[in-house]
């Protein structure tokens, strides 16, 4: 199988040519809930796709405590759920396993079934090989988190390892704007995950807020049982989104999702994140958008990152690059093919006027693909987050976005 993870937005948009493994099939859009874009809306005419609609933000909803275990708990806000984990890594893995046991078991089985049905070769053996080659590069704290989850769920450590290493086989996708590009000058960082919507993983979607002992607190846009991260922001105003490339089976390094976790837990500045990414042995070929609202004396900044096992490049703001044919000031725009041109056209059309609402619009279909699983928008300075998750019927970009005040969620229990 050669699926695609088309990362398309981080109001840092780094334009890259198509470099994923091929596009996984996706369910058709729900025409009844995708009426199209009104002619007087700014998005009108920016893409020919029929199901392009402006972003909507869900109405505020009360927080409802669902269950708790020690300092950890699961809450519901509207249709969405937020999982809170706190303490040493083993404890966080155990808390996660206790609170989400049935879903972790189910999600693990779904991914195995999908993998066996679509992978060319022995899927289980490939998972084992990926784990064995990356294991020596994985920090002990993450292995303890895996152990805690295994003991809480009753799954074997190997089963949790397989579930954790899965992203190394199926690669994924980013944008960031600040300064002159946004209405108030503050940094906005968006991320589009286009991948496997038809698998129905949306039923396991979670916002996970983790407060590790002796490390940065962070929020992870994730799924039940997901220990690594592909979309995250920490309490040091750092945002990170990932986009997969080629280089499958180059596994002699730290798995991408744990590399992002390490950047979130240990990175206090953009320079910290750049150092961690440079000094850590890496796997495969990945692209990232990394942002910091504190950078440039509080003005905010971001970089595009192109990373291979033996090389890494940091693409500075406004920097010309052979894969960035249309740079935009105070923005890093990352997408592929025609979607890149749509993204740049939209960024130029609303340049200097971007607010969270218009930044969410920026990720509409034409940039997001039919396979869009989730979209996230970070405002790192205020620790705000907007997230939309897909359903079998609709891509994430056509679903309502839920707004989260992460600082408030950390400070106050429901």
Sort 220 into a burial class: Cβ within 10 Å, 0-12 / 13-18 / 19+: buried
Residue 401: how many CA atoms within 13 Å on its side-chain side? 27
Which backbone phi and psi does 357 adopt, to 5 degrees? Answer: -60, -50
Residue 336: pLDDT band with limits 50, 70, 90 = confident
pLDDT digits (tens, 9 = 90+) for 189-240: 999 998 778 777 889 999 999 999 999 999 999 999 999 999 999 999 999 9
**Structural Rg of the chain based on CA atoms:** 19
pLDDT digits (tens, 9 = 90+) for 256-292: 999 999 999 999 999 999 999 999 999 999 999 999 9
Q: How confident is the model over 362-385, as a mean pLDDT?
A: 95
Q: Domain range spanning residue 199?
A: 1-414
Residue 167: pLDDT band with limits 50, 70, 90 = confident
User: 362 to each of 43, 150, 319, 343, how far by Cα in Å?
Assistant: 8, 40, 22, 7
Angle between helices 157-165 and 101-118 (to 10 degrees): 60
In this predicted structure, what is the pLDDT of residue 173?
A: 55
Token pair of 353 as six digits = 């006027």
3-state helix, strand, coil in the chain (%, to 5): 35, 25, 40
Residue 12 has pLDDT above 60, yes or no: no
Residue 117: pLDDT band with limits 50, 70, 90 = low
pLDDT digits (tens, 9 = 90+) for 73-83: 999 999 999 99
Residue 110: pLDDT band with limits 50, 70, 90 = confident
Token pair of 198 as six digits = 């038809």
Q: When comparing pLDDT for 28 and 57, which is higher?
A: 57
Three-class SS of residue 43? coil
User: 386 to each of 51, 56, 118, 374, how far by Cα in Å?
Assistant: 21, 11, 32, 10
Give the residue from 229, 227, 240 showing the smallest Cα distance to 272: 240
Residue 28 has pLDDT above 70, yes or no: no
Please state the domain count of the chain: 1
pLDDT digits (tens, 9 = 90+) for 288-303: 999 999 999 999 999 9
Q: How confident is the model over 26-44, as a mean pLDDT?
A: 67
CATH code assigned at 20: 3.60.60.10
Which backbone phi and psi does 232 adopt, to 5 degrees? Answer: -155, 165
In this predicted structure, what is the pLDDT of residue 195?
A: 78
pLDDT digits (tens, 9 = 90+) for 84-105: 999 999 999 999 999 999 999 9
Give the residue from 65, 70, 76 showing the smallest Cα distance to 98: 70
Residue 152 has pLDDT above 50, yes or no: yes
């Amino acid at each position: 199988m050669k699926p695609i993870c088309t990362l398309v937005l981080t109001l840092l948009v780094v334009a890259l040519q198509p470099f994923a493994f091929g596009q996984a099939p996706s369910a058709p859009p729900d025409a009844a809930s995708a009426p199209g874009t009104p002619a007087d809306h700014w998005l009108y005419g920016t893409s020919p796709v029929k199901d392009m609609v402006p972003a909507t933000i869900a109405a505020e909803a009360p927080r409802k405590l669902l269950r708790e275990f020690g300092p950890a708990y699961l809450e519901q806000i509207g249709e969405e759920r937020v999982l809170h984990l706190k303490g040493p890594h083993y404890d966080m893995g155990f808390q996660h396993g206790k609170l989400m046991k049935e879903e972790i078991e189910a999600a693990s089985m779904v991914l195995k079934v999908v993998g066996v049905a679509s992978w060319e070769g022995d899927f289980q053996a490939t998972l084992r090989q990926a784990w064995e080659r990356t294991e020596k590069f994985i920090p002990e704290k993450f292995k303890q988190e895996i152990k805690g989850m295994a003991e809480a769920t009753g799954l074997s450590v190997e089963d949790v390892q397989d579930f954790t290493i899965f992203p190394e086989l199926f690669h994924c996708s980013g944008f960031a704007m600040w300064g002159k590009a946004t209405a108030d000058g503050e940094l906005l960082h968006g991320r589009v995950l286009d991948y496997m919507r038809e698998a129905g993983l949306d039923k396991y979607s979670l916002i996970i807020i983790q407060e590790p002992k002796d490390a940065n607190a962070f929020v992870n846009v994730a799924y039940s049982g997901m220990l690594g991260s592909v979309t995250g922001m920490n309490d040091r105003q750092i945002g990170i989104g990932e986009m997969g490339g080629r280089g499958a089976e180059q596994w002699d390094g730290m798995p991408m999702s744990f590399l992002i976790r390490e950047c979130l837990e240990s990175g206090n500045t953009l320079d910290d994140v750049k150092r961690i990414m440079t000094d850590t042995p890496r796997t495969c070929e990945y692209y990232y958008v990394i942002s910091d609202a504190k950078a440039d004396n509080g003005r905010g900044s971001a970089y595009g990152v192109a990373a291979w096992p033996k090389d890494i490049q940091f693409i500075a703001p406004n920097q010309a690059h052979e894969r960035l044919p249309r740079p935009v000031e105070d923005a890093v725009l990352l997408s592929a093919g025609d979607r890149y041109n749509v993204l740049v056209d939209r960024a130029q059309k609303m340049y200097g006027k971007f607010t969270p609402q218009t930044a969410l619009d920026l990720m509409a279909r034409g940039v997001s693909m039919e396979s869009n699983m989730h979209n996230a928008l970070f405002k790192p300075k205020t620790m705000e987050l907007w997230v939309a998750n897909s359903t079998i019927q609709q891509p994430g970009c056509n679903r309502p976005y839920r707004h989260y005040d992460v600082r408030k969620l950390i400070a106050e229990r429901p």
